[in-house]
Structure 1
Amino acid sequence: MEFRQLNTFIQVAKFQSFSKAAEHLGYSQSAVTVQIRMLEKELNTRLFDRMGKKILLTSQGQEFLECANTILYDVEKAKCSMESETAELKNPLRIGTIESLCFSKLPSIIHYFREHYPKVELRIVTASPEELISQMEQNELDLIYILDTPRWTKDWIKVMEIPEDMIFVCSSHAAFVSDKEFLIAELLDKPFFLTEKDANYRQAFDQALAQKCLDLHPHLEISNTEFIIHMLEQNDGISLLPYFAVQKEVEDDRLAILHVNDIQITMYRQLLYHKSKFLTEEMKKFIYLAELDYT
């Protein structure tokens, strides 16, 4: 088993496509296919289900993905430990992101930077995607890490785009918790705790309701996702949030997923920088760590 096979496996899982992974890695599609087949043969298991043009991880593949990420993360740590003092990173790094990504995804990356690159001054700005894009274009931010519909112009370089499901969640002790599937109209009489109207997935939710000629007056509107989660845990309310933001609470049985079968919303976790921006080593490290953390 080679490190390049692990990296190829991770990229195929990320893009859910052999061709897109090959393009990203600079390989031919046949080379990617051969590497995955060799890996599956060595592990004596199937890592992907091939459903037409769609590539999905098997349960064994999902388990191996966690192992592969851990291996490459440890390799990166080992490489960093071998770096000489003269190569120590020390340039400031300005990151723009949204609230949900800030408290769900950034802490581990920030911890890594503080541990391995103590001279790097990190500046984190939280705002809406539109505000972050404006700051990136004015060179006020080095990288922006957003959750939105796919965004791109010829002036930007996108280094990551990962689909994220938006889910309806409530307290696991709420009276209306059920394994059954709901229609959204059946839940609108419940208290909703939502992000503000200018938030991207809130806009998508409002548009989905409008298409069904439905209206919703939330009990609470606030940009702070963490506050919404605390409110859900303590009250019989409902919210629409990214799964990654509530994954731990769901796994700990503090929150429960409500299965709403007539509204499905997907947003994309994206990492961007301006094409005129010099790609520093600090930016490269952040991108690498963000790409590792896409499960």
Structure 2
Amino acid sequence: MEIRQLKTFINIVKLGNFSHAAQFSGYTQSTVTTHIQLLEKELDTLLFERFGQQISLTEDGQHLYKYAEKIVKLEDEAKNALNKSNIPHGPLIIGMPESICVFRMPSLLKEYNTLYPDVELKIKFGTSNDFHILLRKKVMDLALFLEPSINDSDLINTALWPEPLVFVTSPNHELATVNELYPKMLADQTLVLVESDSSYRVILEKILQKENVHLKTVLEIGQIEAIKQIIMQNLGITLLPLVSVAKELDANKLVLLPWKGPDIKLSAFLVHHKDRWINHSMKAFIKLLKERLINIQR
């Protein structure tokens, strides 16, 4: 029985299936399957009941899960107790929205990797909803949220910077020359938006619902770069963080639509679970982030 097999087993239980555990751990799905097969062979039992794509723990699997969590926790405690060095090392998993990672964090991530080459840094894209789940399941160490505010009692958060949001479209769009954009002007327009659980999309949809505005078409695209390409082809209007479209606005590839509806205000927050032990790798990242905060906000 190997620690990595137990960690794979724990991740499957927490994330709900083999493929999600493989993706999160950086393994192939065949490797994850092999880890479980080896555990089941060594323990001479089945750990999961399989019903098509659905899985559930067997009774023996439930017993093993209790011990597996204790064993993995003891391994971490032993490493921390025996390692006298304060040099950051080992895995560090951080969740970030695409806009923060791609448009604000590249220099900091490069510097962190240079300073701490022994840290196995993994960046996971997603929304605040994704990060809530993963932080609470303790399979993610830190996360950067984009939210109006954070009030969860089990999450420790630090406000970092305000993140301005803007409506943009193609210079050839019929609304490109308007001096003011009101919610009612979005009726019968095509909006190209990020995932449905993205914080700023949720806020926008609440505003439109309150204003009784019905959109003609909503295209949901998972990547900001893809959204920008579609908008530049004059296929609609989008709402994105200003930092993600600044270059296109400067190059006149996109134009700003002056929003006159209710404010859509978000800020970036650094978040971790209140019960998460802050190891040296996490401390180093938090420290570097605070030291580079002024540069990151530019």
Q: TM-score range by the shorter chain?
A: 0.5 to 0.7
Q: Is the 8 A contact 2:86 2:280 kept in 1?
A: no
Tell me which residue corresponds to 1:113.
Answer: 112
Give the equivalent residue in structure 2 for 1:168. 167
Q: Distance in 2 between matches of 1:228 and 1:274?
A: 32
Q: 2:134 and 2:239 mapped to 1: Cα distance?
A: 27
Q: 1:60: which partner in 2?
A: none
Shift, 1:88, TM fit: 4.4
CA spacing shift, 1:198–1:168, aligned 2, 3 Å: same
Q: State how far apart, in whole Å, the 1-side matches of 2:250 and 2:284 are.
A: 30
Q: Does 1:267 align with 2:270?
A: no
The residue aligned with 1:138 is: 137
- 1:175–1:236 CA contact under 8 A, matched in 2: no
Q: Which of 285, 288, 297 is residue 294 of structure 1 equivalent to?
A: 297
In structure 2, the residue matched to 1:183 is 182
5 Å-filtered alignment, 1:127-276, equals 127-178=126-177, 180-276=179-275
Partner of 1:3: none
In the superposition, relative to structure 1, how do residues 153 and 186 fare at CA in structure 2: closer, same or farther (>3 Å)? closer
Q: Post-superposition shift, 1:173?
A: 4.3
> Shift in Å at residue 245 of structure 1?
1.9
In 2, Cα distance between the equivalents of 1:173 and 1:116? 46
- Number of matched residues? 210
Q: Secondary structure at the match of 2:132?
A: helix
Contact 2:146 2:268 in 1 (8 A): yes
Deviation digits for residues 210-262 of structure 1, max 9, x if unmatched?
A: 11111114341122222111212232421011112222222333222101212
| Runs of 4+ residues over 4 Å off in structure 1 | none
Deviation at 1:179, TM superposition (A): 5.6
- Tell me what 2:103 maps to: 104
Post-superposition CA distance 1:244-295 (Å, at most 9, x none): 2222222333222101212321112111111222222322332234341233
Identity score, percent: 30
SS class of match (2:124): strand
Aligned residue identity for 1:196: E
The question of whether the paired residues in 2 share the 8 Å contact of 1:190 and 1:237 is answered with: yes
Amino acid in structure 1 at the alignment position of 2:152: T
- Give the 3 Å change call, closer, same or farther, for CA 87–284 of structure 1 in structure 2: closer
Residues 110-145 of structure 1, C-alpha deviations (whole Å, 9 max, x = no match): 211232222211111122212211111121111011
Deviations 1:148-201 (A, max 9, x none): 221133322212343222210112443532261122222333321112322211
| Contact 2:186–2:215 (Cα < 8 Å) also in 1 | no
Counterpart amino acid of residue 175 in structure 2: F
Give the stretch that moved more between structures: 91-100 or 186-195. Answer: 186-195
Report if the CA contact (8 A) 1:181-1:258 is conserved: yes
Q: Secondary structure at the match of 2:201?
A: helix
CA contact (8 A) 2:188 2:214 kept: no
Tell me, what secondary structure is at the counterpart of 1:192? strand
Moved more, 204-213 or 153-162: 153-162
Q: Distance in 1 between matches of 2:244 and 2:164?
A: 10
Which amino acid counterpart does residue 95 of structure 1 have in structure 2?
I
Residue pair 2:184, 2:211 contacting (<8 A) in 1 also = no
Maintained 8 Å contact 1:99/1:223: no
Separation in structure 2 between the aligned mates of residue 280 and residue 135 of structure 1, nearest angstrom: 18
Gaps of 5+ in 1: 1-85
Matches within 5 A, 1:51-130: 88-130=87-129
Kindly indicate whether the alpha-carbon contact (under 8 Å) linking 1:90 and 1:119 is maintained by their aligned counterparts in 2.
yes
Distance, in Å, in 1 between the alignment partners of 2:159 and 2:238 is 27
Q: Distance in 2 between matches of 1:160 and 1:129?
A: 14
Find the aligned partners of 1:108 and 1:229 in 2 and give their Cα distance. Answer: 23
